[in-house]
């Protein structure tokens, strides 16, 4: 019975942290969107005034690409946070994972690439770690 209460407290804290992250991402996303909009307006104004050779300037192209990529990442992070909030109870139910999973070839390839410590940290789960198996 107490395990359920302690889990709910952890889940509540986790949800609060995720909500804070979402709020911070929303602020950063709005800031980046305003920068992106300004760069697009600058490029459109340069095209309108027939300064096409200036619009191909690397600075504008790099800034536009960087801002659009950042906006895409913020969207992915928002979806990831929402997914975690929705599936928090599922993560708790399935947090116990088999520790004898090193016989899989995918994990052996990861071990060769990142080292034994990476695999050991991923497989040696403790109760309450809330890791999806």
The pLDDT tens digits of the residues spanning 39-80 come to 888 877 777 776 656 545 667 777 788 888 888 888 888 888
The pLDDT tens digits of the residues spanning 93-119 come to 765 555 555 566 776 676 676 666 666
The answer to whether residues 19 and 70 belong to one domain is yes
Q: How many domains does the chain have?
A: 2
The answer to whether residues 105 and 78 belong to one domain is no
Q: Give the span between the Cα atoms of 10 and 52, in whole angstroms.
A: 56
The answer to whether residues 69 and 133 belong to one domain is no
Contacts of 47 (CB under 8 A, 6+ apart): 55
Range of the domain at 129: 98-133
The answer to whether residues 79 and 102 belong to one domain is no
The answer to whether residues 124 and 73 belong to one domain is no
The answer to whether residues 16 and 54 belong to one domain is yes
pTM for this one? 0.56
């Amino acid at each position: 019975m107490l395990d359920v209460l302690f889990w709910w407290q952890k889940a509540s804290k986790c949800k609060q942290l995720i909500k804070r992250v979402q709020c911070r991402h929303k602020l950063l996303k709005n800031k980046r969107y305003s920068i992106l909009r300004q760069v697009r307006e600058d490029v459109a104004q340069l095209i309108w005034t027939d300064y096409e050779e200036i619009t191909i300037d690397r600075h504008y192209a790099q800034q536009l690409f960087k801002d659009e990529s950042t906006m895409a990442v913020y969207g992915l992070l928002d979806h990831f946070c929402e997914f975690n909030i929705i599936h928090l109870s599922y993560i708790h139910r399935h947090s116990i994972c088999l520790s004898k999973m090193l016989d899989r070839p995918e994990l052996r390839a990861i071990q060769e690439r990142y080292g034994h410590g990476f695999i050991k940290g991923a497989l040696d789960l403790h109760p309450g770690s809330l890791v999806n198996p």
